[in-house]
Structure 1
């Protein structure tokens, strides 16, 4: 080992072997690599409609104040969230995306020797925050690509401090029955915090968005995390939040960094909560796009995992990386999910109608060139005009 490598030995043990999270390839990176233009990105579950008009107006109105620090307590956004969900402001923790809330709960509750339970095929950040603090990950096998709650509960011991559940799950899109999920939370010991990651809850529809909020009154060890990055179209501003008991929120806010939310994010998120029309348009476009893309998969002879989110996993029945790379060369960015132990799948974010058409056309051409799958001709309704 040379002298420059010795620095790695100084890092804490969990960090030394940590593999950082790899985000979806940025459009600019593909432009640099291949010199392409008119690239479409369907890799990171972003909102294809972007931010709503109210959020954009709030950002514009806030620009004049950028020389000032933001409100470190996020009073206005907390007030809006408290009103929306009928909770007290003391139950809210604001994060730099809901991703930061996941990190905060790990920092606050985990040490080496303690354990975290989560499912196979669950969000990649769960093992990352676990390893970073030196705790032990206990992975329960998936059931039909989703959470096996019985298997997870069997793995909870007196060493378990956190349980992570994503509902809908990323990257598979599976959705748990609410009665089963509440029974699971109720069966957990009070020495274990249940983190219910609901980053995609707005796409589920019905009363599902409100059901879990009611559980906060019964389960003081429950933490619900949500984000403005997906349905609200504010991924670039990085803002999310946690809902919990006041006591749990107090612990998280003790380790939360001051000014972790910038001024533009706070203003945009507050405005976005009132933009019902934009949210409904987003949900409608997603539902239509999901039907459109899965119909395309059917015509291509491909299987997929039914999804409750704004993305869908397609099963290529062969290693997915060659198809992923071929799509890149056509200017279409999707997401390989080999890191989730799903090497034959690609995750596709639902885009606009035009983006969905371009993706299906590119996929048809790529699979036809590879020649290893039965290729059906897309019907006129799925073809790209011109």
Structure 2
């Protein structure tokens, strides 16, 4: 049977769905370039996880014949203590990606829609489509605004109607890197009708330095329909283990537990995440290195006449003012991997993860060779 024959048997939302696009076949590129490859497309931590996390992974290897804790109790307890919440407010996921998909699956459908910003994370529309839920995309902040292409909370609020059930926000934003102040989020939440749940994706929270942006976790006691998601893939350097979590009201978490897959977080992941969470010194060192390199790289890219969006993350969205494909191809030919943005409707842009100084210098050399 042909793929279309099986597609006809699938649920309506799935028929319109396209697989998540990672940008490049990174495995093939690793085989081609080996140790010379500079990976600046996945917003990963170039310094790797805490040494404590590495030790925890090795210790966990002796237990691989056993299932992991299905409740993730130790990690939940550590997170609850770190964040100042109750363990019953925490939902663990196989990365935050899994949770972002499941919120739509649990609460949305043909009569319960999703609202997101124009340049929101690519998983949000996938979640809406998979749930066969109407998707409304609000326009982003316009050119000339300091946070150009970032979330326009007024436009998002105007897009909410009686059929809206879920709003996805990303703060700081992926793929743009911009942010909106906590005071603006508070006003936005207060303006919403009661049936609307709001997911604030804080995948890059560890990198935030500006005082006007505090975690949405502080607003949870006031807004019971608020959900905050985070991940260990970015600041904590555990992207390969896929560990994420959400914090929400216990009643909402209880509903999601009905949907959660059994043993959805693996045993080394649970152990490594708990150990990484305890190593505040390593996280602080990495965040400081990221800040230094972000400022250094931003300055040099702007000196070349390129538009670099403001960022409170571990990446930069760079606008070349023309089709970015030739620059992408020139970098790839030299073993430097950026993230193309055509899938986001930004063909003139590349998203560039912050690497080490030597990796960032390789990037600049590659751009110079391409005429940028």
- TM-score range with shorter-chain normalisation? over 0.9
For residues 56 and 336 of structure 1, what CA distance do their matches in structure 2 show?
32
Whole-angstrom distance in 2 between the partners of 1:335 and 1:356: 14
Matches within 5 A, 1:259-278: 259-278=263-282
Give the Å deviation of 1:299.
2.4
1:89 pairs with one of 87, 94, 103: 87
Cα distance, 1:24 vs. partner? Answer: 3.9
User: For residue 181 of structure 2, what is the aligned residue in structure 1?
Assistant: 177
Instruction: Give the count of matched residue pairs.
Output: 366
Deviation at 1:113, TM superposition (A): 2.5
Q: Out of 257, 282, 286, which is 1:253 matched to?
A: 257
Unpaired runs of at least 5, structure 1: 368-374, 376-386
> Where does residue 80 of structure 1 map in the other structure?
78
| Of 352, 355, 362, the match for 1:348 | 352
* Structure 2 gaps, min length 5: 142-147
TM-score by length of 2: 0.95
8 A Cα contact 1:37 1:331, kept in partner = no
SS of match in other structure, 2:114: strand
Give the corresponding residue for 2:322: 318
Kept in 1, the 8 Å contact 2:176–2:316? The answer is yes
Which structure is larger by alpha-carbon Rg, 1 or 2?
Answer: 1
Question: Which residue does the alignment assign to 2:8?
Answer: 9
**How does 1:75-224 map onto structure 2 within 5 Å?**
75-143=73-141, 144-205=148-209, 211-224=215-228
Which residue number in structure 2 is paired with residue 383 of structure 1?
none
Q: Is the 8 A contact 2:33 2:335 kept in 1?
A: no
| Backbone CA RMSD of aligned residues | 1.5
The structural deviation recorded for 1:295 is 1.6
1:3 CA displacement: 5.3
Q: Describe the superposition over 1:141-173 as per-residue Cα deviations: whole angstroms up to 9, x where unpaired.
A: 000211111111111111100000000000000
Write out the 4+ residue segments of structure 1 that deviate beyond 6 Å after TM superposition: 206-209
Question: After superposition, where does 1:16-55 map in structure 2 within 5 Å?
Answer: 16-32=15-31, 38-55=36-53
Q: Answer whether contact 1:116 1:135 (CA < 8 A) is retained.
A: yes
SS in 1 for 2:167: strand
The answer as to whether partners of 2:199 and 2:226 remain within 8 angstroms in 1 is yes
Q: Displacement, 1:286?
A: 0.7
Instruction: For residue 7 of structure 1, give the secondary structure of its aligned residue in structure 2.
Output: helix
Distance 1:83 1:37, change over 3 A: closer
Report the Cα distance in structure 2 between the residues aligned to 1:3 and 1:294, rounded to whole angstroms: 49
Per the alignment, in what secondary structure is the counterpart of residue 314 of structure 1?
A: strand
| 1:5 CA displacement | 3.2
